[in-house]
Amino acid sequence: MIDLQGTSFIGHARSTGSEAWTSAVNPATGEKLDPAYLAATDEEVEKAVSLAAAAFPSYAALSGAERAVFLRAIADKIEASVEDIVARGPLETGLPEPRLRGETARTCGQLRMFAGLIEDGSWVDARIDRAQPDRQPLPKPDIRAMLVPLGPVAVFCASNFPLAFSVAGGDTASALAAGCPVVAIGHVGHPGLAEIVGSAIVAAARETGMPEGVFSLLFGGGRSTGRKVVAHPAIKAVGFTGSRQGGTSLMELAAARPEPIPVYAEMSSVNPFVILPGALAKGEEALAEAYFGSLTLGVGQFCTNPGLVFLPTDAGEAFLAKLSEMIGTAGSATMLTAGIASAYGEACEHFAGHPGVKTLARGEGASAPALFEVSATDFLGDEALQAEAFGPAALVVRGSLPEITRAIAGLEGQLTATLHATEDELAAQPELVAALRSRCGRLLFGGFPTGVEVCASMVHGGPYPSTSDGRSTSVGTLAITRYCRPAAWQGFPDFALPPELREANPLGIRRIEG
């Protein structure tokens, strides 16, 4: 197993770190794990960001093919470290080995996906309007535009996906693909995994001749080290996956800078799940079993677990009976951290103590699944009932279809929304469908929202507060646009243009030409 050192990566070098930060804790046993991790000093934070700023011009100038070599090398190095990952990961997170192997594959797959995207090169959205010097009443100049990278990006690692949304996750992959150096901030819940993956990225950077500073990994926590990174004037964007409190805090910090910068934060989502009578008629118990699997997947610690069910008042009794039976006999499981487990327990007690909420079933143990029911009237009367219970808890809202439609229209922004219905019901409920569409980034007809496909058409985002900017996605190739801006060249001679915009189109990319 890799010899973990408990120190940050400042470019290609290890930090010395002068201040104790944390030790990873086994969430199943409470045991502290070696080594103790040291916080990066203020000087080391400054050096990491300064190195990123110095690396940006040369890294951004590399061709897509050259950056693709780097991304594929990272994937290769991570795959070579998989035995270290599956040895350390369960100790830090309580996640089983198969989950960690699967997440490793997903992480490497998305790195290679972005490598293919930038190798092709068409993603820059090149647009060409040629000069018309004889146009009347005024000549038209030659104008050419494309997307260009923003600059160094701060990436905050997530608690619930220690690989796919962390050190080398989607934020890092898309930023590096765009041409932006990354300064990553390790998560307190899994610093050992962060160090393993950080080692792989640094080794890949050295092997492929990337400029020092293209990647750094800092320990010290988001509230301390992370805030220092975001406040640094050289940082041009932020990627974050975590709590609403953490995300909004970063948004406020970034907006208050002398030069405000975008924060792409994925935050809270309860993922409404609507069931109409036609879907129930196909088999209520089977639907309950499938829903239970989605609700409890990963102990309910996925951002897409469907925690809010809308069910007509006069339907679904067999569905609820089967679901209550399964939840009532379910046991407790280890959650990612003691803090997450505590917050989940508090959320369940909030629901259980609400005067309008009925407890239908609760499993055995503090982190066991729970099922609650409330009328649409009471739900509409209390916004607090929309709050996310991060874990395997579901709130069932019963009401008429008009009440359900009004309740959905009043929801906060969500990552996903799911409708189980027949095609005839789908056609007959345009207002319900429109309400769902307005509230989410991904709308499902049938199926379950857990399981986010990594592909070109995936949208893993949604209106606030599911994300800070509903125009973006943190999964799929569209994610690369978060770390770019459009830039235009007017009147430039051909030789001085980027290859993507030259008249001969030497890269052979798709372009919009006028």
| Size of the chain in residues | 514
Please name the helix (run of DSSP H) or strand (run of DSSP E) that holds residue 43, with its range, or none. helix 42-61
Alpha carbon distance 400, 432 (integer Å): 12
Please name the helix (run of DSSP H) or strand (run of DSSP E) that holds residue 130, with its range, or none. none
Please identify which of the residues 303, 348, 440, 484 carries the catalytic annotation. 303
Q: Which residues of 82-110 are buried (b: 16+ CB within 10 A; e: fewer)?
A: bebbbebbbbbbbbeeebbbebbbbbbeb
Angle at 198 between CA 474 and CA 57, to 5 degrees: 70
Active site residue 212: no
Give the residue among 224, 239, 265 at the shortest CA–CA distance from 181. Answer: 239
**Residues near 104 by beta carbon (within 8 Å), at least 6 away in sequence:** 78, 79, 82, 85, 86, 163
Tokens of 309: 């069910």
SS3 content of the chain, % helix, strand, coil (to 5): 45, 20, 35
Give the residue among 293, 356, 345, 289 at the shortest CA–CA distance from 320. Answer: 289
Please identify which of the residues 92, 103, 119, 266 carries the catalytic annotation. 266
For residue 419, the SS3 value is strand
CA-based end-to-end distance of the chain: 57
Round the CA-based radius of gyration of the chain to a whole number and report it.
Answer: 24
Alpha carbon distance 425, 260 (integer Å): 46
Please count the CA atoms within 13 angstroms of the CA of 439 that sit on its side-chain side.
Answer: 26
Angle at 265 between CA 261 and CA 271, to 5 degrees: 150
Alpha carbon distance 102, 160 (integer Å): 14
Place of tokens 């709130």: 395
Alpha carbon distance 95, 337 (integer Å): 11
Q: Which amino acid is at 32?
A: K
For residue 127, the SS3 value is strand
Alpha helices in 121-259 (DSSP H): 170-178, 191-207, 227-231, 244-256
Give the residue among 258, 261, 183, 251 at the shortest CA–CA distance from 217. Answer: 183
Dihedral (Cα; 248, 252, 254, 255), 10-degree rounding? 130
- 319 phi, psi to nearest 5 deg: -60, -50
Alpha carbon distance 462, 411 (integer Å): 12
Give the residue among 192, 160, 197 at the shortest CA–CA distance from 182. Answer: 197
Residues belonging to the active site: 266, 303
